[in-house]
Amino acid sequence: MRKTVMHAKAGIRGLDSRWSLPRAGHGAGLASFLVCCIVLAVINKWGKYMEGNIVKDRLSILTWMIDRYDVLRVAIARRAAIVLSADAILVTATIFLFGQYHSFYLSGLRALSTAERNMTVVFILAVVSAIGLLSISILSATSSIVNVWTKSNEMPGAGAPQIYFFHARDTYDDFKNFAVFREKIDKTTDEDFLSYSVAELWRVIVATYHRHNDLKQAIIYLYWAIFPFIISLLIFSAMLMVHLFS
């Protein structure tokens, strides 16, 4: 009887030993699975966090670039204002010179000699050339200050889509209502803002390029207008000297 009890206890201990390892292995596998899920969740969360930071960093860089081109636009506008002032001075001086020449030589009854008639023709051509060149310079300088296009997709060589929130005309033409505007801006993601800012950067680059070219053209025509103005001034001075000493 005693031996039978001992054999039974030994069997129970063997059974416990056989089942203990699988239970321990099952627990370790479950723990490993949970750890892997947690690690994957953390990696996914960290990836989204880093991706959001990258988008925000790019938005910051693009904003800085847009602000930089805005500073350049202000600088171009100041130079264009100087050119417009010079144009106005030359136009006033040319008109005054023509008025004086007309009152001295063209409104009187005295007949002009052949040399005086030739000089008068050259004088009139010089005045007309100066006024024409100055007019082109004024138009170009004005264009470098104010955009001649109304929407971003009308810009020459732009090829950019409509730019919401950054471009006033594009935004107003498509919404014209605060409720719709608020709904659109609430649904706009960081990636959408990034896309709009890239398009806006391209727009200001194209605008700055054309503004700079218009300013350059205005300065060139201003320089060319100085030569016929000087010619007309010399002719007027020569005619005045002849009139005084004759």
Lowest mean pLDDT among 25-34, 78-87, 165-174: 25-34
pLDDT of 113 higher than 90: no
Residues 6+ apart with CB under 8 A from 147: 207
Q: What pTM was computed for the model?
A: 0.68
151 DSSP assignment: S
AA letter at 149:
W
Angle in degrees, CA 153, 216, 154, rounded to 5: 10
What letters, b where the CB count within 10 A reaches 16 and e where it falls short, cover 73-85?
Answer: beebeebbeebbe
Q: Which has more pLDDT, 243 or 189?
A: 189
AA letter at 196:
Y
pLDDT of residue 16: 47
- Other beta carbons within 10 angstroms of residue 217's beta carbon come to 17
Q: Which has more pLDDT, 176 or 94?
A: 94
Alpha-carbon span 72 to 90, nearest angstrom: 27
- Other beta carbons within 10 angstroms of residue 206's beta carbon come to 18
Where do the structural domains in the chain lie, given as residue ranges? 47-245
pLDDT tens by residue, 196-237 = 888 888 888 888 888 899 999 999 999 999 999 999 999 888
Handedness of CA 65, 71, 77, 79 (dihedral sign): negative
3-state helix vs strand vs coil in the chain, percent to 5 = 85, 0, 15
pLDDT tens by residue, 63-86 = 888 888 888 888 999 999 999 999
pLDDT tens by residue, 121-132 = 899 999 999 999
When pLDDT is cut at 50, 70 and 90, the band that residue 4 belongs to is very low
Q: Which of 162, 17, 144 lies closest to 87 in space, CA to CA?
A: 144
Alpha-carbon span 115 to 59, nearest angstrom: 71
For the record, the structure tokens of 222 come out as: 């201003």
pLDDT of residue 209: 87
For the record, the structure tokens of 138 come out as: 């004024």
